[in-house]
Structure 1
Amino acid sequence: MVSYEKLAYTDFTLPLSALKPSEDPDARDKNNNRKFAPEKKVEAEGALTRIAYVLPPDRSPLEVLRNYQDVIAQKGGELLFECKKEECGGAADRASSGGGNDMSLTMFFFYDSDLKDADFSNGKCALASTITDQRYFTAKVPEDGGDAYVAVQTYTVLDDLYCKELNGRTVAVVQVLEPKARDKKMVVVEAAKMNESLSATGSISLYGIYFDTDKADIKPESDPTLKEIATLLKDDPKMAVLVVGHTDNQGSFDHNVDLSSRRAQAVKAALASKYEIDEKRLTAAGAGMMAPIASNDNDEGRAKNRRVVLVKAN
């Protein structure tokens, strides 16, 4: 084991088909690579663990992949998607590092800048080098409380400079998303606390309004927070607020501004239609990625930046 990271709760997207280039030829990721994404995918939330292993010499990526598939089968799991080499889509010769070309399969999950491993460490070398003979599968395994999702990527490292100790060695990148109930403490902010923050600072960030990835449809579990916003406004009939959507930096600037604006409009519409708040008291706006409150270089920071902010207008 050369790299390990665990997130208590996050969203995770797994490909169920090969990566395809974006229909927009100018769409670029944060490393200036042409963006790729699968046409079919599964989106899940839970506890995410990512581990990278360097295998003993003379073990091929295919052999290692098949061993993991045997374990999945023994646990009653189901193979959802499998690919190899260029068939996986994107750049098949790079792991998580590099820019100016096509995204790689590894970059669909994470970039070298997301890694906590030190430069030139075994972990960084295993996850950010030039590669060959790439293999991959997505699977699900039944567990108490729901399905766990597993992504396994294997490849051979190619490097004769800083990472030459791993040259020719097979690496296995194993990512497991386990079903886990989200900790809802401090997510639903009561109307009184909202009013207190608006009076003291003029704004409050809310994390209890939920949307699917890259969509503006409000999820049902947002109702408790929407109800508290409505209570806030009904308790003070003269109060007007700005409803401002914020995103992380994944995707283009224009796309994120549009997405955050549509989400803010959705919140405004829900407050007006479901809770009978006068639309004249609500102004919706989208700030996109323009006002981060945390680093966008890791999942934890990006989660903090994805929010709805109420700003006191009068």
Structure 2
Amino acid sequence: MVRIFRPAILAASFASAPLIAGALDLPAGAKLRADDTQSTGRATLAIARFDGDSVPTIAAEGQVLRQAWKVDGTSQTSFQVLVSLRDQMITDGFDILLQCQSVSCGGYDFRFEVGYFNAPDMYVDLGDYHYLSARKGDEFASFLVSRSKEAAFIELLQVSPAGSSATNAAVPRARPTVTERAVPSGPLGTQLETNGRTVLSGLRFATGSSQLTEEDVPILAELAKYLAQNPDRQIILVGHTDAEGSLDGNVALSRKRAASVKDSLIKLYGVNPAQLAAQGVGYLMPLAANLTPEGRELNRRVEAVLTSTN
């Protein structure tokens, strides 16, 4: 675990941010990727899901701390990370204003009205993120939690009253190393039935092509098994691209790639065609900014979206 002490990053006179009685425990391996502090500032926290026009918020003024953390190597799901943070907040006397996950928050529309940092410091999977906001008197905090294939990401917002007692602790202190038992992230079926969608990791396409470069793909075998065990479930395969090239061209390519995955599931893995459909959205739903090679690689993907309603 990593212990975050209330920082005074601007100067020794910057007042402490009273969170979890001075510290917050994060999963082992958490590393600070970015931070921003204001001795006097204003921030907004979401208090309800996207209502069709905007995300309802509450404004908080005072000392503002924002941090982005990356947790390499953890097998914890984004929900498990969020629950640990939530429980610590409740223990410290905070009242939860809002807790939601990607679908219940409002998906794409909610995510792009909350959050401060961008990739690579903060990665957000639009189908697998969790948000929480909380309040204790004049203190406010929020968390945005998501994960990539390899790591979890946490964005923290903390607002505390002006005039809180200062501290010089500016660097998180690692607790003594202990062996942490890995928590299973759950099978593909659990991800589908919890989040409504999952990224099909391990797919490889030739550059500019819709053909898979490998026939034996473990994630497709897992999806085929799930569909065979649940013959009443239907899936839409949704292709996504980076932002290089025209929108029309990318939509067409993403649809072809999704169709290629569909064909493989039917021909190679014996999936019932009635359980599958294929669509493409090009670069309209990125997981990360397209400004870096890493971001563009994350955006090139095919997802499985569960469309069954019972």
Higher relative contact order (CA 8 A, sep 6+): 2
Bigger helix share: 1
Same fold, judged at TM 0.5 (above)? no
Normalising by structure 2, report the TM-score: 0.39
Please say which structure displays the higher CA radius of gyration: 1
State the TM-score, normalizing by the size of structure 1. 0.39
